[in-house]
Amino acid sequence: MLAKNFPKDFSLWKPFLYNDKGSMAIIGRNKAVADIPKPKFHFNGFLAWAVWLFIHVMSLLTVKNRIRTLVNWIIAYFSKDQSFRMIIRPQDKDKNVTA
């Protein structure tokens, strides 16, 4: 919207309109919550969890990233290994940094 407004005169600008698509959150293994504003809809549990996974996989741009992410999630789900969920920065051997 902003880029379309730039070449125009200020008086011809269209106002920004916010479109609330709702909110979703995973709260545990096979558990999630979702609130969709239009139509007003709230759901939770396994269905919300599955919808959360689908939406996040489909929002990835390339098929390669979708498959890689889905495989990583499947491995983490069945292995129940928490190290798959940790984000770790590799330690640089040249630097002696203490946090």
What string of pLDDT tens digits covers the 99 residues of the chain?
A: 667 667 667 777 777 888 888 898 988 888 999 998 888 889 899 999 888 888 889 889 999 999 998 988 888 888 876 666 666 666 666 665 555
Closest CA to 23 of 55, 1, 61: 55
> Positive or negative, the Cα torsion across 38, 39, 41, 46?
negative
Question: CA-CA distance, 33 to 21, in Å (whole number)?
Answer: 14
Chain centroid, CA 68 distance in Å: 15
Question: CA-CA distance, 46 to 32, in Å (whole number)?
Answer: 7
